[in-house]
Chain A
Amino acid sequence: MNNKRGTDKILSIYWFVVLTLVAGGIFAMVYVFYGPPYDVRDIESEIFAERIADCISKQGIIDSNFFTKDGFNKDIGNTFTQRCNFNFNVEEGYTKDEIQYFYKVEFYILKDLTNPSFSFFDGNSNWESECFIQKKNDKNYVRLAKCTEKRFYALSEDGNQYLIKILSVIGKSEKNVKQ
């Protein structure tokens, strides 16, 4: 009688159901944890913004190439990407054959902090609008581009003070978010 009870306890259907439920739960948790790719775009856009800032000013002084005798050098925007050693090519694996980076730099004089006195940008400007969408903790928003806005003050060589705003954006949702 005792042996029968013991055998029942170990090999009962109930026991297998519990085992299956626990194992299934753990498999599901592992899949949820390791399944989606690691999202590194926040860090990437931070680094991108830092690199842009490094290119604009050294020790608080704006690079002299940004200015001409008449004010801002309007051509700097055409050469800034190359000057800063940025390469916007990406590896295979993206569904759309488009640039996955975007940046915008704005210079403000302290008297007018609403309208930039000079600005330039490069990369895929389609990403910019995604920065201004209110991102909720919803999976539908996860696929949007990741943005970093950086602000700092710097001086020109002739002593004028500027507020510089940098917006850096990383697309790359295919490699960072579960599709």
Chain B
Amino acid sequence: MKKRGTILVENIVFIILNIIFLSVLVLFLVKQGSGAIVLEQTYSKQITMIIDSAKPEMEIKLDMEKGKKLAEDKGIDFGSAVKIIDNAVKVRLSEGSGYSYSFFNDVRVSASAAKDEKGKYTGVYVFKVNEKILQNE
């Protein structure tokens, strides 16, 4: 009886250690997939492709819920996570990082994070595409 009990404890400890090990690996994988560097690049290129396909007067809404969570965790204001500088989209979800990618569509784009009635960010970004105003010399 005693022998059987010992074997069972061994096996349980063995299984628990395996589960802990696999859980750590899965957490690592999930964290890698939703890391700031990967998400910044993904959003930046996604927004660029959207703007390239867009035409003036269009308003595009993009769900960036994952980005919002990450930015809040890293202490970044989600409202300033996406910036359109000249013809490049810059996404920054953590301190000291950021990824920019340029679009060829020569339009004026404004980006703003949507807020709910309470003034909290909804996780959706709104992009308004307008024709570029040509400045007369």
Contacts and interface: CB of A to CB of B under 8 A. Distances in A.
Contacts of A47: 49, 52-53
A87 B106 contact: yes
Contact of A89 (B28, B29, B38, B86): B86
B41 to A, nearest CB: 6
Nearest to B100: A91
A89 B102 contact: yes
Q: How large is the interface on B (under 10, 10 to 19, 20 to 34, 35 or more residues)?
A: 35 or more
Nearest to A175: B101
Contacts of B32: 30, 34
Given A47-B49, A91-B102, A30 B86 contact: no
Contacts of A133: none
Contacts of B3: 2
Given A10-B13, A51-B105, A87-B105, A43 B25 contact: no
Q: How large is the interface on A (under 10, 10 to 19, 20 to 34, 35 or more residues)?
A: 20 to 34
Interface string A40-54: 100110011011000
Contact of B45 (A40, A86, A87): A40
A107 B78 CA distance: 48
A159 interface: no
Interface of A: 2-3, 5-6, 9-10, 19, 22-23, 26-27, 30, 34, 37-38, 40, 43-44, 47-48, 50-51, 85-93, 101, 175
17 contacts: A6-B7, A6-B9, A22-B25, A26-B25, A34-B32, A38-B45, A40-B49, A44-B49, A51-B104, A85-B105, A87-B106, A89-B86, A89-B102, A91-B88, A91-B90, A92-B100, A93-B100
